[in-house]
Structure 1
């Protein structure tokens, strides 16, 4: 059953070819934009690699870069096909090329759609990666003398100041780890000894946060230590007063930042996907309309164009059959001798 059959007079074919040529070059620019957006997202993710436990989220920018490059080639050839579309002598040379061309084009167009879906669906993976990565980053904050972790303190401080956040979930995360290096502790002090002895792991824990958690817009001088002790500060109430440090956790801040970035990119790529789909549909109509003209002297006759010559299922199987045929020798070679004998008796 033919899908979406339409009649194409000569003038309509001319306008279709001209419009498709312009559309294909617009899609070429859009492909370059897709690649650029993938590079941008990849760069932003790599900037915060030290607070990410895994790289699963990188599948989104990697996919965008692949489909962006593929789109450049797909639409370049679409423009060349449009140039030869109205020449009955030159167009037939594309006949054997168009079937694999449409198969490759549809594959990368579907891949672009998957990248869009993943950009919205990767929130859970991003959040779990940041949760574990920030936990490790805060734990190694004090290890400024340890090779490989020398810049961990600097990275965390810059992160907290840039995103106006504190800790992993919130500022209380700093209460649970020793973030002050032993190098800067006076072990002759009674207070230091008591704090270390009161902890089963021998860590120096305080109800304080690093300076990078301080909110510069607060009218009060920053209170970094004894945050939960009301009597330690004048006119201070831990339970009711808004603290002069950032209350939002860095995981929440980073998730909101990256999801906002990926959602924006996803919306942009969705429009590019629709543009790419329009190119493929228009090119298919042009191809089928021109096939009826090939080999005829009168090229100005009215022809019919269609999207699919057969049903969707039959068309998909037509493209899959060569692949299955290519894979069938491997399938046959895995048969056991008994199965070969049974097959021989059956024939």
Structure 2
């Protein structure tokens, strides 16, 4: 016969021996603090990689992001200044003989760098905004848009790298034709004369592809020279063709004739530059082009690292549109998106079974 137990408020019930059915049933314990922290607040659709991080990791990601932004901004300023230097030096000489071609390489480097600079400055503003204690829905959305813009700029920069390489390895006959045109106008136009002289002295070159191209050009005022001396079959070039590296006196008249003066023989002590300006400009263009490619590749690596760090911050902030300190874990992912209805309901633990004594 079952023992009746009287239930009175404020009194302790006598302890009874549990039945076998009660021994087999293990009551579920309430969720601990760690389990409550690990409860997901967002459902990720096809998220790769997806994991939970603590607020300490959030602060580490923030410090890394700010450091990368500062580094990217400084590097972008350096590359922009480098573009100006390329335009003033190599670009200026190319534009002397081929208008507009000298601006292509510096522009191909400056445009993506300037765009990244503006995006990185905006990143700094939104990083500080997402740490506001109030919910910042729109700032998380703006940060996501900036990330997509940065990814698009990275893809565009890769395309520009191909354009740079194709430009530096193209034949560019327009450059050769421009040099020849400036040579033909050497005697009648002081501007062309100045350009050719500067080009040949700076790059230690003579003519477009070879120095003997000057032999068929009236590059001097024939009225100032005796008629007998106007024969160019023996070779005459402007003084700017003289080679700085030559240890012999510069002979730029009658180059092909052996002379008693200075014991000159063209086979042994030719004192003018034998390299053409076209080849000199192309060689310098390749060097500058590869330096641009190297700088942009390094810049892309820094931007990719920055995008990864900021993407983790943006997804961690997405669940509640604010950071709540160390009170919970934060779900982050790199690829994928959150499914509809991002805030998941945390299922409470089941209550323990009621003892049989209370049921009677």
TM-score range, shorter chain: 0.7 to 0.9
Deviations 1:80-104 (A, max 9, x none): 2222344452543313323432332
8 Å contact kept, 1:56–1:125:
no
Number of the residue aligned with 1:175: 215
Q: CA RMSD in A?
A: 2.8
Matched, 1:5 2:50: yes
Secondary structure at the counterpart of residue 209 of structure 1: coil
TM-score, structure 2 length as denominator?
0.71
Cα separation, 1, equivalents of 2:192 and 2:233: 19
Structure 1 pair 43/90, CA: closer, same or farther in 2 (3 Å)?
A: farther
Structure 2, unmatched stretches of 5+, are: 1-45, 338-360
Rg: which structure is higher? Answer: 2
Structure 1 pair 134/57, CA: closer, same or farther in 2 (3 Å)?
A: same
Residue 24 of structure 1, CA deviation: 1.5
Matched, 1:15 2:70: no
Cα separation, 1, equivalents of 2:129 and 2:228: 88
Structure 1, unmatched stretches of 5+, are: 144-148, 196-203, 311-347
Deviations 1:228-260 (A, max 9, x none): 23467775544x424111111111222222322
8 Å contact kept, 2:91–2:102:
no
Residue 23 of structure 1, CA deviation: 1.6
Residue 290 of structure 1, CA deviation: 1.7
Matches within 5 A, 1:1-347: 1-56=46-101, 58-87=103-132, 89-125=134-170, 127-143=172-188, 149-186=189-226, 189=227, 192=230, 195=231, 207-230=235-258, 235-238=263-266, 240-294=267-321, 300-309=327-336
Pick the structure with more helix per residue.
1
Count how many residue pairs are aligned between Structure 1 and Structure 2: 292
TM-score, structure 1 length as denominator?
0.74
8 Å contact kept, 1:223–1:244:
yes
Q: Which has the higher contact order (CA 8 A, sep 6+)?
A: 2
8 Å contact kept, 2:313–2:332:
yes
Deviations 1:195-215 (A, max 9, x none): 5xxxxxxxx665111111122
Residue 74 of structure 1, CA deviation: 0.7
Secondary structure at the counterpart of residue 151 of structure 1: helix
Structure 1 pair 52/113, CA: closer, same or farther in 2 (3 Å)?
A: farther
Cα separation, 2, equivalents of 1:306 and 1:288: 6
Cα separation, 2, equivalents of 1:25 and 1:190: 70
